[in-house]
Amino acid sequence: MASHEEILADKAIFAYLHRLIGDDGIELIRRFPTDKEYSDEELAEITEINLNSVRNTLYTLYEHRLARYRRIKNNETGWLTYLWLLELDNMYDSVAKDLEIVLEKLRRRYKYENENAFYNCESCGSTVTFTDAMDSQFVCQECDNKLIHFDNDLLVNALQRRIAKIEENLLHE
Ligand SMILES: [Zn+2]
């Protein structure tokens, strides 16, 4: 089982978690003691993060199967206490699912960019495909200026690199 710091050191995971629970949530994970389960009140005290924020983070993590709790009933008062544990190892599944979606979008964009030639108006910035440029006789429909072939090699290469990188990450899991 990886430590919380090790898990947070992974950039893709950090970004995913940060989107989910924000700065306070990340701090909670950093300061979350791993020796036993704790109640939300105890966690607020130990980590010095306010109780509402601790609760929000715990519920959000729980919804994403990244935390679980055990409910304990005080026999005298009947009060319920929730004792929390983080299960950040499930992170790898969540991030992988996220990356699959991103990858799919990038692949579609890559295909589109790779299969089309583009024309661009240097005066207004409007960009159209070769087919559309031909239809308008290479005149910009926005401002009547000439459309010039637009080299998208840089973009295609950048997309290709990002796709390769994500594919590599997914393979390592
Ligand atoms: Zn134009």
pTM equals: 0.62
Where is the domain boundary, 65, 86, 107?
86
Q: Residue 49: helix, strand or coil by DSSP? A: coil
Going from the Cα of 123 to the center of ligand 1, the distance in angstroms, rounded, reads 5
Provide mean pLDDT across the span 129-141: 96
Residues 17 and 34 placed together within one structural domain of the fold: yes
pLDDT, the chain, mean: 92
Q: Residue 17: is it exposed, middle or buried by C-beta count within 10 angstroms (0-12/13-18/19+)? A: buried
- Find the CATH number of the domain harbouring 57: 1.10.10.10
pLDDT in tens, 109-131: 999 999 999 999 999 999 999 99
Average pLDDT of the residues in 46-71: 95
The pLDDT-based confidence of 13 (bands split at 50, 70, 90) is confident
CB 107 within 8 A of CB 99: no
CA of 126 to the centre of ligand 1 (A): 6
Same domain, 57 and 103: no
Max CA separation in the chain (angstroms): 85
What are the b/e assignments for 103-132, b being 16+ CB within 10 Å?
beebeeebeebeeeebbbbeeeeeebeeee
The residue range of the domain holding 125 is: 93-171
Distance from the alpha carbon of residue 145 to the mean position of ligand 1, in angstroms = 5
